[in-house]
Structure 1
Amino acid sequence: MYDEEDLEAIREGKERWAEETLDPVLEHHGERKENFATVSNLDVDRLYTPDDVADIDYDEDLGFPGEEPYTRGVYPTMYRGRTWTMRQFAGFGTAEETNERFHYLVDEGQTGLSTAFDMPTLMGIDSDDAMADGEVGKEGVAVDTLRDMEILFDGIDLEEVSTSFTINPSAPVVFAMYVALADERGVPREKLRGTMQNDMLKEFIAQKEWVIPPDPSLDLVTDTIEFAVAETPKIKPVSISGYHIREAGSTAIQELAFTLADGFAYVEDALDRGLDIDEFAPQLSFFFNSHNSLFEEVAKFRAARRIYANVMDEWYDAEDPKSKQLKFHTQTAGQSLTAQQPLNNVARVTVQALAGVLGGTQSLHTNSYDEALALPSEKAVRVALRTQQIIAEESGAADIVDPLGGSFAVESLTDETEEKAMAYIEEIREMGDGSVRDGVLAGIEQGYFHREIQDASFEYQERVETGEETVVGVNAYESDEDTKPEMLHVDDEVQERQRDRLAEVKDERDDAAVEDALETLGEAVESGDNTMPAIVEAVKVGTTMGEIMELFERRHGSYRETVGVA
């Protein structure tokens, strides 16, 4: 982008500046630390100039918003048209309690719902199972049957609201319940809007929640993709999630690389199923973490769009522009929140949310300041939502498309992030002999991802313990004052109420119809047919989450992780 004579003049000017202006200051005052790096320990230079971005081709590498390679954003107007979806995570106790929180958030100005489920639901276990004891409603809402879904969305217009479901092993069942609810209300399936997380590859890599082995888990994800293309075109059936990879301790570059690799694995599996790339790719979405290093995060988001556009074009022959547009949800970094001086988390979340906005996210969840201690209180949730609203309405950050585009530092970091992430993706592809999908599956079995993340996590913690990495209120600026806020408490009676409702459903349902529905589902599993239609019919007759997931486990077996040695 720059004339070589101009660049040479800048290089000479930088050398002169260093000798005449910088060196005397360094000699007398020094700098506040020896090494400057991002949270991911990526070195950052003192000063960036046009020389650092001399190799950028504006048309090829940046372009304009809404045009390939989408580095500067997937829409031409971005937030000048409308702001990102403000989607606060909510869910605790019974469906009634979470429904009340949903209505509260909508009344406070939230523009999309996001549902958190309790651990038994996440693992496909009914609330009356012995393994669910003590966990019902504690980390999210308990959902066992369609009855719970009916109560959860009571008074919510399914045609108007966009709903995200953070669930993975049992995601096909929750998806089926949402579709069944729409059928029950007479809402056309094609009008349903929302996102299923449903990213099982990420589970085996980082979050470690599964019911059946990786291969059949991948088949189920592809079932939901195929079903969504045909039945629910406005629902994104999988949200390929780097969030949990980052929460497990990865670097920003690992988060980006492993997430995109998972996404390409789903693409390849859907192509093998016989789906057309431009038929299903527009319905894929992504989910990233936003951490404390503002410029690193912005660079990560920009690099993500560029990598995705290029790979979808060059490797998978996508033609529809929507197939090449990486659209993503962002959540601020739960891992960064501290139990010490929890109000400091408001500042952390603000920086992280700003990074998501400056990086061009399509929707955003801001963590509550008390989440390192308990489920968020109503007061803390309101502050988290107001943080987004202040950024949107008062900061001016939403008024300029890609406002950090052209920054020598950000463009240089974007290039470096892209290069390092692509090196990981190519390595994974080689592990699969040219298939990213096979490489991801091999990496899971060999413990490759586990080792990479574990090493990064250990290095970060070591920097914190030595003081090289400052965490305010933890290893610096500490306080003996009790700063613990009032916390949300989920009553133990929740479990009893939920089990009573489940018993009532089981008592009222037609057991023969349930048996027939499960038999039909079993036949679909055995024949290799898409299982989603059978799951939808099963939940309509009162089949429980646990009964459906137990069938899958009987047919496919369970899974035990084996971590290979490097």
Structure 2
Amino acid sequence: MPDAPPTNSLTSNASVERARWDKHTLDPALSKTPERPIGAATGSNLDDKGRARFSTISGVPVDRLYTEADLPDDWESNLGAPGQPPYTRGIHPNGYSGKLWTMRQFSGFASPEETNQRYKYLLANGGSGLSVAFDLPTLMGCDSDDPQSEGEVGKCGVAIDSLEDMETLFSGINLERTTVSMTINSPASVIWAMYLEVAERQGADLAKISGTLQNDILKEYIAQKEYIYPPAPSMRLVVDTFEFGSRFTPRFNPISISGYHIREAGSTAQQELAFTLYDGIEYVEWALRRGLAIDDFAPRLSFFFNSHNDFFEEIAKFRAARKIWYRVMTERYGARNPRSTWMRFHTQTAGVSLTAQQPKNNIARVAIQALAAVLGGTQSLHTDAYDEALALPTEDAVRIALRTQQILAYESGVADVADPLGGSYFVERLTFEMEKAAFEYFEKLDAMGGMVRAIEHGFPQKEIAQASYDYQRAVEAGEKIIVGVNEYVVEEPSPEILYIDESVRDAQTAKLKKLRRNRSNEAVARSLLALCQAAEKEPSAVTDGVSSTNTLPYLLDCVKAHATVGEICNALKKVMGTYEETSIA
């Protein structure tokens, strides 16, 4: 764990100069024009002299000026250059000048047919990758005609019940040439099996397809709560995808370890960083216990972060993430393949920061957040549409969100230089603070026996809940200003929104009836029985790249027999059980 910056002759001289500046420049200026905090003047944001006390959005204290005295004496030698360990400045030596980040808009609504048209629209307007949003029933492993699905089909994403739906979703889209990210967790391996079968039916070489499966079940228990099975069997399914992917889909990321939803639940930036990276550690531990070699699966581990409003804090978070992951993979796990040590991540702008009040203000918020992600070195980026606090985005709002990325890429100049803020005393100090806080959390989580044990004891959940409460209290007290919400408030009409009615459920139900009538239900029953028998067994040792009890080959058989998402998940429930969170005070 990094210690506080030491003092040497250079930092000592800087400290002297800083003290002289405080006394002869700052203090006289403040005596003439006293500072006022942004927001209400309360004890929490005034110092003992009654002067403004500043902090990041996460509550990290921020000084008025940063100098070399605020950094470790060896900070430059430990910083490295872009493309060199510890990769603080980026994993590629030339940043974005060789290849821009992937512009991947998160999209999905109503039926597979309608979402397919939206995807073609995005690709035609310069999108360079797709990101699939699934509706709540699909996320929970339910078919559209399940009674629990009523009122939710197609509302927050696209409804996918069957292999036929997946074929429709990607009709006319070449999956060997288009990278696809899929935001799905508990039923992730089921949806992935459908995707792989569609790719093969298109004639794609599975060794060439690229994209990302979110598949991060740990953050579901921590933050988003869209889980089905208990932690241990859920982790088994995740490791099955690692094992299968390392053998058959070497360019596809089987997981996107996600801090995004942790941040959306109310965490600080430091908590998002620490819990996300430690989730990564937990996945590595479970994969190693299976018998996988670190350098066989680690190069395809990817991450997913939130980019919030505090510009410099977010940039520091991304830079610290790369440095920490390099240290973890080399020092804790002895990874030898450089790609195993690379922190590769997708970023999405902060949905939780969007306001229903004066929603067009969100265009500015998203632009700031996107710029922070780019300056932080993200590999791909989704920019939220300004109307997402009201409903699923309209086509016009989606186009503005995509154009925001394109303006950054082609008009701002920020893509021309690798890590242009590297060496900034402020950014480097914030990066140091992020790293220090993350390792402090790592020590606590190690002492608890890992993240699964910590989740069972409610530790990350309680930490996030407290951070969320503290932030909301500050907003309600006026200490934090949200433009258009608790300051600069005006009344204005709501914009036109996209509305999804119940006709989607009716159409999906009709398709399911037809599917069950025309398929071989005996073949479905046999494939589901074989899947359950494989899932009942402890994962066997890896031989020839994949263990005999890996569930993916059995899932593929179920998919080919035209079993539905709900039928497959219900079959696994009989073997794996379901999970209900215990409330912990």
**Candidates 150, 162, 182, aligned match of 1:165:** 182
Equivalent residue number for residue 399 of structure 1: 416
Q: Distance in 2 between matches of 1:79 and 1:419?
A: 28
Other-structure match for 1:435: none
Q: Which amino acid aligns with 1:546?
A: G
What are the equivalent positions in structure 2 for 1:103-502 lying under 5 Å apart? Answer: 103-432=120-449, 439-482=450-493, 484-502=494-512
CA contact (8 A) 2:7 2:73 kept: no
Would the aligned equivalents of 1:448 and 1:564 in 2 still touch at CA under 8 Å? no
Q: Is the 1:445–1:564 contact (alpha carbons within 8 Å) kept by the matching residues of 2?
A: no
Determine helix, strand or coil for the equivalent of 2:104: strand
Offset, 1:62? 1.2
| Contact 1:450 1:563 (C-alpha < 8 Å) held by counterparts | no
Say which is worse superposed, 552-561 or 460-469, in terms of deviation.
552-561
Tell me the amino acid that sits aligned with residue 35 of structure 1: R
Q: Could you say what secondary structure the match of 1:189 adopts?
A: coil
Q: How far apart, in 1, do the equivalents of 2:467 and 2:187 lie?
A: 30
Q: 1:2 to 1:255 in 2, by over 3 A?
A: closer
| Percent of aligned positions that are identical | 55
How far is the alpha carbon of 1:189 from its aligned partner?
A: 1.0
Cα offset, 1:14, TM superposition: 1.9
Q: Secondary structure at the match of 2:157?
A: coil
Equivalent residue number for residue 44 of structure 1: 62
Secondary structure of 2:54 counterpart:
coil
**Residues of 2 paired with 1:464 and 1:4: CA distance?**
41
Unaligned runs of 5+ in 1: 433-438
Whole-angstrom distance in 2 between the partners of 1:535 and 1:481:
51
Does residue 7 in structure 1 map to residue 11 in structure 2? yes
> Deviation at 1:5?
4.2
Give the letter aligned to residue 498 of structure 1: Q
Q: Which moved more, 1:290-299 or 1:515-524?
A: 515-524
Distance change >3 Å, CA 420–CA 3, structure 1 → 2: closer
TM-score (normalised: structure 2): 0.94
Deviation at 1:6, TM superposition (A): 4.1
Q: 2: CA distance between counterparts of 1:497 and 1:356? A: 39
Contact 2:106 2:132 in 1 (8 A): yes
For 1:228 and 1:70, the matched residues in 2 are separated by 26
Please state whether the residue corresponding to 1:389 is helix, strand or coil: helix
Q: Distance in 2 between matches of 1:150 and 1:82?
A: 30
Of stretches 93-102 and 129-138 in structure 1, the one that deviates more from structure 2 is 129-138
Bigger mean CA offset, 166-175 vs 179-188: 179-188
Instruction: Give the Cα separation in 2 of the matches to 1:56 and 1:348.
Output: 36
Aligned positions, number: 557
The one-letter code matched in structure 2 to 1:431 is M
The 8 Å contact of residues 370 and 376 in structure 1, kept in 2 or not, is answered as yes
**Which residue, out of 32, 37, 50, partners 2:36?**
32
RMSD: 1.3
Q: Partners of 1:222 and 1:273 in 2: how far apart?
A: 8
2:104 aligned with 1:94, yes or no? no
Aligned pair partner of 1:510 in 500, 514, 520: 520
SS of the aligned residue for 2:181 comes to strand
1:473, distance to aligned residue in structure 2 (A): 0.3
Question: Are 1:538 and 2:549 an aligned pair?
Answer: no
How many angstroms apart in 1 are the aligned matches of 2:16 and 2:258?
A: 45
**Could you tell me whether the CA contact under 8 Å between 1:250 and 1:457 is conserved in 2?**
yes
3-state SS of 1:374 partner: coil
1:333-390 CA deviation, whole Å, 9 max, x = no partner? Answer: 0010000000000000011000000000000000000000000110000000000000
- Any idea what the Cα deviations from partners look like across 1:296-327, whole Å, max 9, x if unmatched? 00000000000000011011110100000000
Contact 1:2 1:50 in 2 (8 A): no
The corresponding residue for 2:49 is: none
| CA shift for structure 1 position 57 | 3.6
Q: TM-score, length-normalised on structure 1?
A: 0.97
For structure 1, which segment, 222-231 or 27-36, has the greater mean C-alpha deviation from structure 2 after superposition?
Answer: 27-36
Residues 199-233 of structure 1: CA distance to partner in whole angstroms, max 9, x if unpaired?
A: 00010000001111011111111111111111111
The separation in 1 between residues aligned to 2:341 and 2:462, in whole angstroms, is 31
